Amino acid sequence: MLQNRATGYSWSLTARGAGSDAFDITVTDRIKKYKRDAAPTVEKIISSVKQIDYATYAKYKGKIVMKEESS
Protein backbone atom coordinates (compact mmCIF):
# COMPACT_ATOMS: atom_id res chain seq x y z
CA MET A 1 0.00 0.00 0.00
CA LEU A 2 2.45 2.68 1.16
CA GLN A 3 5.21 1.46 -1.15
CA ASN A 4 3.15 2.66 -4.11
CA ARG A 5 2.40 6.14 -2.72
CA ALA A 6 4.11 9.40 -3.61
CA THR A 7 6.25 11.36 -1.16
CA GLY A 8 4.05 13.47 1.10
CA TYR A 9 1.12 11.04 1.01
CA SER A 10 -0.49 10.85 4.46
CA TRP A 11 -2.48 7.91 5.76
CA SER A 12 -4.36 7.61 9.07
CA LEU A 13 -5.40 4.47 10.88
CA THR A 14 -7.62 4.46 13.95
CA ALA A 15 -8.74 1.48 15.98
CA ARG A 16 -12.13 1.34 17.67
CA GLY A 17 -12.92 0.84 21.31
CA ALA A 18 -11.69 1.86 24.73
CA GLY A 19 -7.94 2.39 24.89
CA SER A 20 -7.58 2.27 21.12
CA ASP A 21 -4.63 3.77 19.25
CA ALA A 22 -4.39 6.00 16.22
CA PHE A 23 -1.53 6.31 13.75
CA ASP A 24 -0.73 8.96 11.15
CA ILE A 25 1.81 7.81 8.57
CA THR A 26 3.43 10.13 6.06
CA VAL A 27 5.52 8.85 3.14
CA THR A 28 8.95 10.50 2.87
CA ASP A 29 11.82 10.20 0.37
CA ARG A 30 13.30 7.51 2.61
CA ILE A 31 10.70 5.10 1.22
CA LYS A 32 12.84 4.86 -1.93
CA LYS A 33 15.78 3.48 0.09
CA TYR A 34 13.67 0.99 2.02
CA LYS A 35 14.48 -2.66 1.29
CA ARG A 36 11.06 -3.91 0.38
CA ASP A 37 11.86 -7.56 1.14
CA ALA A 38 13.02 -6.71 4.68
CA ALA A 39 9.52 -6.69 6.17
CA PRO A 40 6.00 -7.73 5.20
CA THR A 41 3.80 -5.19 3.46
CA VAL A 42 1.00 -3.43 5.32
CA GLU A 43 -1.49 -5.32 3.15
CA LYS A 44 0.03 -8.66 4.24
CA ILE A 45 -0.09 -7.70 7.92
CA ILE A 46 -3.69 -6.49 7.71
CA SER A 47 -4.79 -9.62 5.83
CA SER A 48 -3.46 -11.86 8.62
CA VAL A 49 -5.23 -10.04 11.48
CA LYS A 50 -7.46 -12.18 13.64
CA GLN A 51 -10.36 -10.37 15.30
CA ILE A 52 -10.86 -11.20 18.99
CA ASP A 53 -13.26 -9.86 21.58
CA TYR A 54 -12.11 -7.77 24.54
CA ALA A 55 -12.47 -10.64 27.03
CA THR A 56 -10.05 -12.77 25.00
CA TYR A 57 -7.60 -9.87 24.64
CA ALA A 58 -7.76 -9.15 28.38
CA LYS A 59 -7.15 -12.80 29.17
CA TYR A 60 -4.03 -12.96 26.98
CA LYS A 61 -2.71 -9.65 28.31
CA GLY A 62 -3.16 -10.74 31.92
CA LYS A 63 -5.75 -8.06 32.62
CA ILE A 64 -8.14 -10.60 34.10
CA VAL A 65 -6.83 -12.15 37.30
CA MET A 66 -8.77 -15.04 38.71
CA LYS A 67 -8.99 -15.34 42.47
CA GLU A 68 -7.27 -18.48 43.70
CA GLU A 69 -9.52 -20.92 45.49
CA SER A 70 -8.67 -21.41 49.14
CA SER A 71 -8.94 -24.88 50.60
Q: What is the pLDDT of residues 1-23, one digit of tens each?
A: 555 667 778 878 888 888 888 88
Q: What percent of the chain has pLDDT over 90?
A: 4
Residue 12 belongs to what H/E stretch? strand 10-14
Q: Are 13 and 23 in contact (CB under 8 A)?
A: yes
pLDDT of residue 3: 56
Residue 60 belongs to what H/E stretch? helix 54-60
Buried (b) or exposed (e) across 17-48, using 16+ Cβ within 10 A?
A: eeeeeeeeeebeeeeeeeeeeeeeeeeeeeee
* Full-model pTM: 0.35
